[in-house]
Amino acid sequence: MGTSQDNQPPETKESAVFYEKPKADSSEPKKSDTDANADIADINKTEDDLSLKEPIAWTAPEGVKVHRELWWYIAFGVVLIGLMALAILVFKSPTFAILLPIMTVALFLLSEKTPQNINYAISPKGVYVGDKLYDFSEFRAFGITRENNQHSAILLPVKRFSPGLTLYFSEKEGEKIVDMLGARLPMQEIKPDALEKLIRMIKL
């Protein structure tokens, strides 16, 4: 006859069910190096576009001082005496002969004057020279020149016989100025015409 222990039902252990956490789908495509570089380029381009909308201001001379040697003054004096003789002997105009040295002295005083520093600025509105604003629509292109170690940007007018606008600047601001102008006007090579070449040759 079996004992009471034999009649007891066998102990059952609860089976624990473990659920694994679903793993992240690793099949999502990763950005290639090319795509990443493209994103960086877009960000840099956006930053550059924003920087080109910010005004830039600087101070520079209003012109270039011309340095003349002794031979130039001697040659100019000879030419002046010849013109005075021509006015008296040929044109019979002593008055004009007297005016010639007066005009020469005035020209020398103006040309020997040291150029003053003035304020320049470029903004989305246009170009400031001193207190005067020039709209970009007044110009068709610009070019970069260098004379007597002085850098300058020449803005070429739309109107044929209108004078160009010259912006003088140092090498430090050069890259930013060219970028600002290049974002709004086409850049082209500046070639001096015959009159400009003559003026430079005689150093007026």
pLDDT confidence band for 163 (50 / 70 / 90): confident
pLDDT higher than 70, residue 27: no
pLDDT at 193 over 90: no
Using CA atoms, how far apart are residues 193 and 140, in angstroms rounded to an integer?
A: 18
Identify the pLDDT of residue 12: 46
pLDDT of 198:
63
- How many of the other CB atoms lie within 10 Å of CB of 101? 14
Residue 71 pLDDT? 87
pLDDT at 181: 95
Least confident of 14-23, 86-95, 132-141: 14-23
> How large is the average pLDDT for residues 24-36?
53
Q: In this structure, are strands 165-169 and 150-157 parallel, antiparallel, or unpaired?
A: antiparallel
Q: What pTM does this model have?
A: 0.62
- Going by pLDDT thresholds of 50, 70 and 90, the confidence category of residue 200 is low
Domains of the chain: 70-111 (no CATH), 117-202 (2.30.29.30)
Look at residue 20 in the predicted model and tell me its pLDDT. 52
DSSP label at residue 27: T
Q: Work out the mean pLDDT of the chain and round it to a whole number.
A: 78
Contact 159, 204 (CB under 8 A): no
Q: What is the pLDDT of residues 2-18, one digit of tens each?
A: 444 455 555 544 444 43
- Order of strands, sheet of 165-169, starting from the edge strand that comes earlier in the sequence: 139-147, 150-157, 165-169
pLDDT in tens, 59-113: 999 988 777 788 888 888 999 999 999 999 998 999 999 999 999 888 888 777 8
